[in-house]
Structure 1
């Protein structure tokens, strides 16, 4: 059943299209009809009945067989079918209130009678796979689960226009305060519609644009503060800036460069320039989630000490959908109170006690060349170096790193650095050769290593 849950999560549940409330009439495709239901804020599970007993299985392989709702499920399904597999949301029921996924962990430990299962799909019935349109599926689910209390089908409202969807969103989310709605179109995509989420995060690094966008910010790397001088990576924010903001932010962040023993690569495959963690940015996103089709999401946790970042290992963390820059928060501090992990754990549950230590192996230098030049009595140094990290198996480091250092005592910015990465030895050697050719001209003398 674990494999079935993984396949369903990967092929179906994880492919729900996120849509903002303001995008309902523009991003949802026209269809013959739509089924609209309240989004239950819980945990995805498959409920299976083998003719004797009902059990729950998630895509991570967890099996639950001792909840009160499973006793009801066994009694309800006995006599109605020989076997059945249902996909749905396991949630903590609150009469007249909104469900919250982070409440589920404690409720599962307590085997609460308020844990309900809302079925939204039927995978198989009496050993045969089921494929039905949205109305026929709704009828079948309600027939199989009729008279159920803690086990029930999601309640669908069937409408024919996107304006009707917008009206239901207002009623269910804006007026009733629920998390969101799920829209299943007739023989088409499934959409997840929720209010925009805003988060405050610490800027840890930045990447500059290339080509016509040179001199402007491309994106920032942000994280959340988990303890004093410790930050866990969250996402990269590259949209929402005006051109003026891109120019000003790049100039401002360029003054805050620091060293890092950890390398994170930007969307354009260029290493982020890391900066001192002293600025907070507000951004919006469509959704926050802690699991994907591969299982629990983990991200790197970094320590910042003496002007350098050090990687501590991966910890469970969330990912976000469609992050968009809102504004800089000069009124907030880069600490656990203003830019902390609690912003995420208020939305979803994380196993914050779990961590994954890195098997950190020593790097080895592949190529190194140093050149000096004296100009107007001032010494200039240019150093080119490539090293093999021997850490690529962790999935958190590239195989090869090229590092360029340019020092000139006569410049206002005396020290300049550049980093490029690759998983190909041939490519990194080509980068090294091209950089030496471009930056070493007449007058430079090679220093013996």
Structure 2
């Protein structure tokens, strides 16, 4: 982790407000809500003391100022305007979409020379979507609508950072647009809502686009604690020209009953060698004959060809893979 930058004098230390997972607001409630893109990156609170400095702190409280040197210029941009802002650090792919796999190339790099080199290979972009403190005045009790207006008034659009627009009402149109453009989802926010640091509030609602896929189970890894001895996750693959290609480990969403059922199937299908065409970097993996098909949900693909945010949906007994 990069060394901490000095805490900006006179600015409050705030944790980001969090959204509650849920469906889009129903049509009748839409006038109360504004809609933003859900960005697939690293959330951070940005403190700018007004003297040309800047400090970036993640949701976990880690100071990452030195990790992203291309964002230092925001301090000069807001010189004389001390502020605390809320945003997300992303790396955009060639189509302008956030790619978490690319962002991972930048995360945790503390060495200044390496950070400077990676800055040119994987430049980050800071998406700013809220303003918590400005010119010595707290905006926490101001409405979301008022805070967004004040943020837009700072005129912060640049190559390294921007303030994307939000749309009041018209949630379904925003939903369809984000899906068509391959974005992660939508965040809906009540126009009158205050900013509640560190609180997961129902006034902010996040809804992801989830795509499902049928995958082949080629192995499993053991769970821990109360599920020791049972599958903690399954190792998934897809058929390709050269055989079964590994696409990731899926454990989220498995119930205890499903783990026990899978354990019985795996006992019959056990094999000594991996069925995948490439090395699978999972410690103490158990291999099975690639016969079972499962439906999983995912939000996209990493640059390494792995499923992004995979979740277990169900076993597909109606489908069986035959070699």
**Shorter-chain TM-score: what band?**
0.5 to 0.7
Asked whether the 8 Å contact 1:44–1:88 carries over to 2, the reply is: yes
How far the C-alpha of 1:5 sits from its partner, in A, is: 11
Gaps of 5+ in 2: 107-114, 194-202, 224-229, 238-247, 272-284, 301-305
**Stretches (4+) displaced over 6 A:** 1-7, 246-251
Match of 1:103 in 2: 102
- Report the Cα distance in structure 2 between the residues aligned to 1:232 and 1:93, rounded to whole angstroms: 25
Superposed CA deviations along residues 276-295 of structure 1, whole A, max 9, x for unmatched, are 6445542333659xxxxxxx
- Report the Cα distance in structure 2 between the residues aligned to 1:325 and 1:40, rounded to whole angstroms: 28
Matched, 1:55 2:55: yes
Query: Any idea what SS the aligned residue of 1:189 has?
Result: strand
- Report the Cα distance in structure 2 between the residues aligned to 1:331 and 1:29, rounded to whole angstroms: 46
Query: Any idea what SS the aligned residue of 1:37 has?
Result: strand
Superposed CA deviations along residues 36-88 of structure 1, whole A, max 9, x for unmatched, are 122232222222112221132222514224622321x1221113x1x222121
Instruction: Choose between structure 1 and 2 for higher RCO, CA contacts under 8 A separated by at least 6 residues.
Output: 2
Match of 1:195 in 2: 210
Superposed CA deviations along residues 97-152 of structure 1, whole A, max 9, x for unmatched, are 31212112435552238422111222322444322323212111111244544222
Match of 2:72 in 1: 70
Matched, 1:331 2:294: no
Tell me which of 173, 185, 204 is aligned to 1:167: 173
Matches within 5 A, 1:17-416: 17=21, 19=22, 24=24, 30=29, 32-52=31-51, 53-58=53-58, 59=60, 61-65=62-66, 67-71=69-73, 73-79=74-80, 81=81, 83-93=82-92, 96-106=95-105, 110-112=118-120, 114-131=123-140, 132-159=142-169, 164-174=170-180, 176-186=181-191, 187=193, 188-196=203-211, 198=213, 200=215, 201-202=217-218, 204=220, 221-224=232-235, 234-238=251-255, 252=265, 255=268, 277-279=288-290, 280-285=292-297, 323-325=312-314, 327=316, 330-331=320-321
Query: Any idea what SS the aligned residue of 2:131 has?
Result: strand
Asked whether the 8 Å contact 1:55–1:64 carries over to 2, the reply is: yes
Tell me how many residue pairs correspond in the alignment. 256
How far the C-alpha of 1:222 sits from its partner, in A, is: 2.2
Gap change, CA 1:148 and 1:240, over 3 Å in 2:
farther
Match of 1:8 in 2: 15
- Report the Cα distance in structure 2 between the residues aligned to 1:5 and 1:257, rounded to whole angstroms: 57
Superposed CA deviations along residues 259-287 of structure 1, whole A, max 9, x for unmatched, are xxxxxxxxxxxxxxx98644554233365
- Report the Cα distance in structure 2 between the residues aligned to 1:332 and 1:44, rounded to whole angstroms: 44
Gap change, CA 1:283 and 1:105, over 3 Å in 2:
same
Query: Any idea what SS the aligned residue of 1:90 has?
Result: strand
Query: Any idea what SS the aligned residue of 2:150 has?
Result: helix
Gap change, CA 1:69 and 1:282, over 3 Å in 2:
same
- Report the Cα distance in structure 1 between the residues aligned to 2:38 and 2:77, rounded to whole angstroms: 24
Gap change, CA 1:139 and 1:44, over 3 Å in 2:
same
Asked whether the 8 Å contact 1:5–1:46 carries over to 2, the reply is: no
Tell me the TM-score normalized by structure 1. 0.45
Query: Any idea what SS the aligned residue of 2:172 has?
Result: helix
- Report the Cα distance in structure 1 between the residues aligned to 2:88 and 2:322, rounded to whole angstroms: 36
- Report the Cα distance in structure 1 between the residues aligned to 2:257 and 2:175, rounded to whole angstroms: 25
Asked whether the 8 Å contact 1:205–1:275 carries over to 2, the reply is: yes
Gap change, CA 1:5 and 1:165, over 3 Å in 2:
farther
How far the C-alpha of 1:255 sits from its partner, in A, is: 4.4
Gap change, CA 1:126 and 1:194, over 3 Å in 2:
same
Asked whether the 8 Å contact 2:212–2:296 carries over to 1, the reply is: yes
